[in-house]
Amino acid sequence: MSILSIVPGYEPEDNPGRRKGKGAARMALRHAVLAALLDEELSGYQLAKSFGLGVANFWQAVPQQLYAELPKLEREGLVAGRKVVQEGRPDKRVYRVTDLGLAELERFAAATDKPSVIRDDLMVKVQAADHVDTGILIARLTERAALAQARIELFDKLLRTMRGDATEEEYLRHGARIGPYLTCLRGLAFERGNHAWYERTVAVLRERGGSGGDVSQAVP
């Protein structure tokens, strides 16, 4: 089942994601694109939607990056593109992974990975909570908690749709495509952890004084 059929009407967002070195970002992006094309042929626009729904929980890219990556992969023989004529609409080009692309994914999967690290402006602000207006921090944390909750609901919907009538244990044992399910599980766990931390941090800051002042007494 295509991830695009799970949340109809979804539109990709321009989100630069986390910053990485250009070389590392290029290598990871090309493999993320290859992985996103494993299930079906996609146009650049469909690829951006697919990224926003599934891949974005572990790798973010703006649509313009994806559009630029596809011709590069085609020139390298890792994907094959074909023109699709559409009545009443501009023609589009769709792409699929080639055998060479699958071999590249095999090589990538065998390579050693570096652990990821958190780089988040909000964490820097919370680090300075003893010296800045905590009322502002509480507002930002509350916004993040709401965003995390929305993502929790999206991932839960994706997971339920992917497994259909099967229980989670049945799907984990016998599901046709386990990779996207496992990455959605990771996204769900990540956002649940985020949500719990945001809410706990808001509670701590409120208990210690809300919008500033004497915060010398710690909360157990």
Q: Domain residues of the chain, as ranges?
A: 3-110, 121-208
Strand partners, 84: 92
Contact of 166 with 174, CB cutoff 8 Å = yes
- Determine the topology of domain 3-110 in CATH: Arc Repressor Mutant, subunit A (1.10.10)
Contact of 58 with 186, CB cutoff 8 Å = yes
Q: How far apart are CA 187 and CA 207, in angstroms?
A: 30
Mean pLDDT of 158-185: 93
Residue 77 is encoded by which pair of tokens? Answer: 């023989």
13 exposure class (CB count in 10 Å sphere: 0-12, 13-18, 19+): exposed
Task: Please report the pLDDT score of residue 27 as a whole number.
Answer: 64
CA 102 and chain centroid, separation: 22
pTM: 0.73
- Tens digits of residue pLDDT in 71-101: 999 999 999 999 999 888 999 999 999 999 9
Residue 20 is encoded by which pair of tokens? Answer: 């990485």
Task: Please report the pLDDT score of residue 9 as a whole number.
Answer: 47
Q: Token pair 């990556």 is at which residue? A: 69
